[in-house]
Amino acid sequence: MKPMKILVVGSGGREHAMIRQLLKSPLKPKVFCAPGNGGIGQDAEIVPIRADDIQTLLKFAQLLKIDLTIVGPEAPLVAGIVDEFQAAGLKIFGPTKAAAQLEGSKAFTKNLLLRLGIRTPAATICRSLGTLTRAMESRTLPMVIKADGLCGGKGVTVCQNERDLDEAWERIKADDSIVTALVEDFIAGEEVTVMALVDQNGGIKLLASSQDHKRLLDGDSGPNTGGMGAYSPAPIMTPALTERVMREIIRPTVKEMSARGNPFAGVLYAGLMIDAEGNPWVLEYNVRFGDPEAEVVLPRLKTDLLSVILAAVDGRLDQIPELEWDPRVALGVVMAAEGYPGKPKKGQLINGLKEAVDAGVIVNYAGVERHPDDLGFITAGGRVLCVTALGQSFAAAQKRAYAGVSQISWPGEHHRFYIGDRAVAWEKKQSA
């Protein structure tokens, strides 16, 4: 029996985490990754096709008779890669272009949430600089400014003061690609990520919760990034709150998309804020695995990921058992290049990777390339690596992850030092 051929589209730590999990499948798949990176090449066959080159990806999948394509990043989903593959009779996991609007347009999602009566911050949708000016002037600080389109997790500015407001204004004014922006009320609370696998028939399987750390610097300061670390599960997501999120947020959204003639299939990512009263508010939807959330959620999944995705593609998620999870917690620390999230410095030789793995951590590769003289790996992007550890407690996972991080170095390397401290403090309080 020939092994199933899987094509994973993307090149980051999220895709590496997906591939690692797929390779655990008893189905023993052959995995290709386009465009991948040097580190992913240790586990999958690299295909030098850009993630946004949909037609070339389609031709490759047809030529090699790929059995299933799984899309990691949002851009090709919003551009319609799923529509193209499905039209060609190929199996692909992810939402159609119409359903991907949930991430592709914050204005679309805001209007949908308001229609459904789902808690979401009040916002003004601005399609001109004049409207944006008036909306900013009519609100008191703090407030949140969001660019409407895809910004790689860096299109949101939480404005705590006038300087933040000025920076957000200048960024939007200078970027001709931003034609719509949202000015939102600020909601205080604790952020949490809930991801669900969804099929076109409305079947839903919730994944374990997680909490991302988006700010560049310790103390949740500095600019927003694509994510500087995460842990799973998020202690705030009790079984009661999880059921409430499913009932009040996930199911109504899936049902509404189907009613509109654009059924959602793929990963529905809900970025939530839990307020002081324990109420969940939707800050955003994404339509794919989060990054770095995937790096801490997927290592805890005991159920065969490939079998679950195949069930989702075939519209039979409601026929499979509930997902099984490793009871241990996972904590991941992102290691970034100097200059991130602006213009990261590239070409720095990365040291200590073998020593880190020997210390018992998972190293997922993102912005890396192989050294031209085969001396190892060099930096080639902003977020370079994610170092993940499992542990019986948050404190144990945190200690192990940072032990792995301490083994790795390159000039200008940057990481946050206190990923998971909130969970560790919660843990200590529970045991007191």
* pLDDT tens for each residue of 129-151: 888 888 888 888 998 998 887 76
In the chain, the domains with their CATH numbers are 5-93 (3.40.50.20), 122-185 (3.30.1490.20), 190-319 (3.30.470.20), 329-431 (3.90.600.10)
Identity of the residue numbered 293: E
Please give the backbone phi and psi of residue 18, each rounded to the nearest 5 degrees, phi first.
-60, -45
Give kind and range of the element (H or E) at residue 107.
helix 106-116
3-state helix, strand, coil in the chain (%, to 5): 35, 25, 40
pLDDT tens-place string over residues 79-134: 999 999 999 999 999 999 999 999 999 999 999 999 999 999 999 998 888 888 88
pLDDT at 152: 63
pLDDT beyond 80 at 9: yes
pLDDT at 185: 93
Supply the mean pLDDT for the chain. Answer: 95
pLDDT tens-place string over residues 219-243: 998 888 999 999 999 999 999 999 9
In this structure, the strands spanning 30-35 and 45-46 are parallel
Identity of the residue numbered 117: G
Please give the backbone phi and psi of residue 307, each rounded to the nearest 5 degrees, phi first.
-65, -35
User: Contact, 132 vs 148, CB < 8 A?
Assistant: no
In this structure, the strands spanning 362-365 and 383-391 are antiparallel
pLDDT tens-place string over residues 29-87: 999 999 999 999 999 999 999 999 999 999 999 999 999 999 999 999 999 999 999 99
